[in-house]
Amino acid sequence: MSELQQLLQELGGARLWVEVLVLLACVSLAWGLARGLRRGAAPDSVWFGRYTIDGLLFPVLALVFIYAARYGVALYQPVVVLKVALPIFVSLAAIRLFVRVLGASFPQSSTIKLIESVVSWLAWGGAVLWITGLLPAVLAELDAISFAFGKTRISLRTLLEGVLSSGVMLVVVLWISATIEKRILREAVGDLSMRKVAANAIRAALLLVGLLFALSAVGVDLTALSVMGGALGVGLGFGLQKLAANYVSGFVILIERSLRIGDLVRVDNFEGVVRDITTRYTLIRALNGRESVVPNELIITQRVENLTAADPMVSLNVNVTVAYDSDVDRVQQILLQAAANPRVLREPAPAAYLVNFGPDGLEFSLSVWIRDPENGQQGLRSELNLAILGGLREAGIEIPYPQRVVHMKS
């Protein structure tokens, strides 16, 4: 408690109003500079946030200005307020970094709020220990608690530093990968699937490099990872082979581009639009709103119908039966008039065919082409049927009921 008592004594004897004015000047300067640089920035920017003050740039600039002002004030009087402000803004910058990056990377995750609360408590707790001078004593106690793993002993402090380093490295990697995907890949790579595989590859490589740096920073011998790699390979060969197959299949799908985001596909009698292709599964959304999570291995090993792979045009047929005494030319004319729908393409032109001499009448088929199957086909089919029904009734052409001839044998 000697350092805390010294801090209290300095608070009683120093000219605090000078430091308070310097601190307010540093904070105001940081806020004004961050606000001036904010022009044209996205609302979800990690640096600026939504209101400038909730971004990362403001506490970082304030920290730089306060750190510089501390040495300037120290030339004329003892520094107290600025010394206390340093750990506060360090904690604030750490919280802003974690909150903004995780929020931008996982906007719909329910666990982000919990992680944000944990990071906030840890950051402010560390700031309190730093200000009161208890941080060296706490670190010494943590260093005294150790665990034995074979011939290696690891202290609790080393373990916590490793977790903290890995967390910081993970956040930085997520930030870098998101920035590369937003600023470079969206402009350089137009295809969504290729952009997805490039983003996944960059993120995996950065995570691997970051993990190796974090492990080496806490003193872990990286040569020991070879044993872990062998054990992981055995695990993949037995218990995790299905999971590994799905991950490999996901990269194959993204690289080959046999399936792309936005394609209309039919997989195992489920038809819908591909919404997302991850490394483990493909998300397909049907036109009625239902979603199907299809493992990537299933797409690789089974038959998949891609209705828009080569061309987004899709053929749609509407069948109708009329009486045998109907005027065939008039029926075809009515069918072609019904095809005058905004969604029906003029080229290839709609066509009306007499396809069969049915047991109840003449069977006709109207064949049309559309370019937007993702907007649904049942609505268009209903509009065509209503137009055909109205035209046939107006022309007096009968749509016969099923007829059966019964012979009475005496």
Question: For 386-403, how does the pLDDT look when each residue is reduced to its tens digit (9 = 90+)?
Answer: 999 999 999 999 888 876
The pLDDT of residue 9: 58
Average pLDDT, the chain: 79
Tell me: the pLDDT tens digits for 320-373?
Answer: 999 999 999 999 999 999 999 888 998 889 999 999 998 888 999 999 998 887
Q: What is the mean pLDDT of residues 177-189?
A: 65
Highest mean pLDDT among 93-97, 233-237, 249-253: 93-97
* pLDDT tens column, 212-224: 776 666 566 666 5
Is-above-0.85 flag for pTM? no
**CATH code assigned to 221-310:** 2.30.30.60
Return the pLDDT at 210.
74
In this structure, which amino acid lies at residue 60? V
What pLDDT, on a 0 to 100 scale, did the predictor assign at position 359? 85
Q: Where are the domains of the chain?
A: 2-133, 148-220, 221-310, 314-395
> In terms of C-beta distances under 8 Å and separation of at least 24 residues, what long-range contacts does 63-71 make, across chains too?
63/89, 63/90, 63/93, 64/30, 65/26, 65/27, 65/29, 65/30, 66/23, 66/26, 69/22, 69/23, 69/25, 69/26
Question: Does the pLDDT at position 90 exceed 70?
Answer: yes
CATH number of the domain at 314-395, please? 3.30.70.100
Give the pLDDT band (50/70/90) at residue 1.
very low
Query: Sorting pLDDT into bands at 50, 70 and 90, what band is 205?
Result: confident
